[in-house]
Amino acid sequence: MTSFHTPRVRRRRLGVAAAAAGLFATLLTAGPAIASPDPGDSPAEEKISSSQAAEVKAAIEQGEIPGVDEIVHSSNITHLANVPKDLIKGTNSDLAFQGNYAFTGNYDGFRIFDISNPKAPKTVAQVLCPGSQNDISVSGNLLFLSTDSSRSDNSCNSVAQSASIKESWEGMKVFDISDKRNPKYVAAVETACGSHTHTLVPKAKDVYIYVSSYGPSAAFPDCQPPHDGISIVKVPRKAPQKAALVKFEVLFPDGGNPGAPTNPGVSATSGCHDITVLPSKDLAAGACMGDGILMNIKNPEKPKVIDRVQDNVNFAFWHSATFNQGADKVVFTDELGGGGAATCNAEIGPNRGADGIYDIVGKGDKRKLVFRSYYKIPRHQANTENCVAHNGSLIPVKGRDIMVQSWYQGGVSVWDFTNSAKPKEIAFFERGPLSTESLVGGGTWSAYYYNGHIYSNDMVKGFDVLKLDDRLTDPAKRVRMHELNAQTQPDYVKDFRH
């Protein structure tokens, strides 16, 4: 393991290269569930040219990038633990937290860890329930999974089946996790075009779910164009088996960004990829393929778009969003290349496949999103490494805007955007490429800060725990949460007051 006192900037010019009877989950008894790069169904693997491979090897030999599987990090990061995949072999995806537990999604199901000792996470349960990408969240005694691949039915022993068949199923699954060692599958709700991601809007008696999906086709009976909005599901806490679709809410009555040929290189909007809500402020930010939106969600069944922005120069695919603590900024991510391409290099540059930082100006429903700057990790990656902005969360430091974020094989980056116009990295952790011969999909899918530590779900290498020691972020260690779903942001400002 190599430690660096400051994040390195690499100078080398690296190349681009429930059927009714089927609410059934298989609980794996040995301590664990492929999240593939968006929006595909399997990890990328593509041979590169011999000259490109030679360039990668030369960069490793010269110390410009770490070697295959070598771990490097800034001096203020400590790698406490890694837990490889176990019985569930698919690719790891998102994360959620509750008490002393971490819940890790995987295209083949999910795994529950006891993280009471962050240095030694222990597997509590592993549930086999295939259905990409198994985006995961928790609220009280309920766990929610997104299924975004067409299946033969809604059970956990379904098989892949064409979306052109009316009886095929995609959507939301609900589990009872009151017994963490024995999760019970209790409900399924089919949603149009499935559920690529989902976002919880928790209320006292019910949990609302904003379901994001895309990719409609006239050939798909349950995923018809136009698909210009989100599905809203309501789950009664005391009777989750009664979970049901409330409505499909149209967010883009004009169809959204048309994409090419009007806007070459930009995804046409046909739904949203991900939504982040700030319940304490009745706000939501949507990353919707070709559009970024700001919404008023005071009535969770009637989200109202109050502003909408596009970046047809540098943003290819609006992927996710994160509010700052003061609710006057949003960080949007651009998943250039769908998460399966090498985009962290000199050829792509610092503004594409990056974060876009937007200030929120004005009041009430007249608030507007105003672009301020881009942020991208300052270390070039090999042309065999998929790398682009991906999932992250705030690190709760009073008076500052600091975020930890995944970059696939670009690793984990901790960065400060207190000055919206001048974001700056303050810590990093990454592994070297999985291969010097092929672009093989991998790296960290999600990296979130929870109760004093950073937890990362690496698509290939497993579950990582990092400790961050830095004068800028140390105050966050005093903030303790009972629950964290990164796309349902807590009111950290309230925590600071108490």
pLDDT in tens, 378-396: 999 999 999 999 999 999 9
Measure the CA–CA gap between 378 and 287, rounded to whole angstroms. 24
- State the number of CA atoms in the 13 A half-sphere of 466 facing the CB: 31
The string of pLDDT tens digits covering residues 171-205 is 999 999 999 999 999 999 999 999 999 999 999 99
The beta strand positions in 299-437, using DSSP E, are 304-309, 318-323, 329-334, 355-361, 368-375, 392-395, 402-406, 412-416, 424-431
More confident site: 165 or 11: 165
Q: Which residues pair with 484 in a beta bridge?
A: 97
Q: Which of 52-56, 109-113, 338-342, 487-491 is the least confident region?
A: 52-56
Where does residue 161 rank: exposed (0-12), middle (13-18), buried (19+ CB within 10 A)? middle
Q: What is the pLDDT of residue 49?
A: 86
Averaged pLDDT, 251-280:
98
The string of pLDDT tens digits covering residues 340-368 is 999 999 999 999 999 999 999 999 999 99
- Domain extent listing, the chain: 2-17+25-497
Q: Residue 7 pLDDT > 90, yes or no?
A: no
The string of pLDDT tens digits covering residues 425-442 is 999 999 999 999 999 999
Confidence of residue 19 (pLDDT cuts 50, 70, 90): very low
Average pLDDT, the chain: 92
Q: Which residues pair with 57 in a beta bridge?
A: none
> What does 104-139 look like in DSSP terms, one character per residue?
EEETTEEEEEE-SSTTS-EEEEEEE---TEEEEEEE
Question: Which are the contacts of 303, defined by CB distance < 8 A and separation ≥ 6?
Answer: 210, 230, 249, 251, 284, 295, 296, 297
Residue with tokens 């507007």: 368
Q: Enter the DSSP assignment of 271.
A: S
Measure the CA–CA gap between 216 and 2, rounded to whole angstroms. 46
Q: Residue 444 pLDDT > 80, yes or no?
A: yes
Averaged pLDDT, 479-485:
97
Instruction: Name residue 158's amino acid.
Output: S
Q: Residue 6 pLDDT > 80, yes or no?
A: no
Measure the CA–CA gap between 431 and 61, rounded to whole angstroms. 15
Q: What is the pLDDT of residue 496?
A: 66
Task: Tell me how far the alpha carbon of residue 389 is from its chain's centroid.
Answer: 10
What share of the chain has pLDDT > 90, as a percent? 87
Averaged pLDDT, 222-238:
98
Averaged pLDDT, 330-338:
97
Q: Residue 260 pLDDT > 70, yes or no?
A: yes
Q: Residue 158 pLDDT > 80, yes or no?
A: yes
The CATH classification of domain 2-17+25-497, taken from the options 2.70.180.20, 2.40.40.20, 3.30.2130.30, 2.130.10.10: 2.130.10.10
Highest mean predicted confidence (pLDDT) among 9-23, 290-304, 483-497: 290-304
The helix (run of H) or strand (run of E) holding residue 479 is none
Tokens of 465: 């725990």
- Residues 223, 216: contact at Cβ < 8 Å? yes
H helices of 357-464, in order, are none
Q: What is the pLDDT of residue 202?
A: 97
Tokens of 475: 């105050």
Measure the CA–CA gap between 208 and 279, rounded to whole angstroms. 11
Residue with tokens 């070459």: 264
Averaged pLDDT, 22-46:
49
Q: What is the pLDDT of residue 31?
A: 32
Where does residue 245 rank: exposed (0-12), middle (13-18), buried (19+ CB within 10 A)? middle
What share of the chain has pLDDT > 70, as a percent? 91
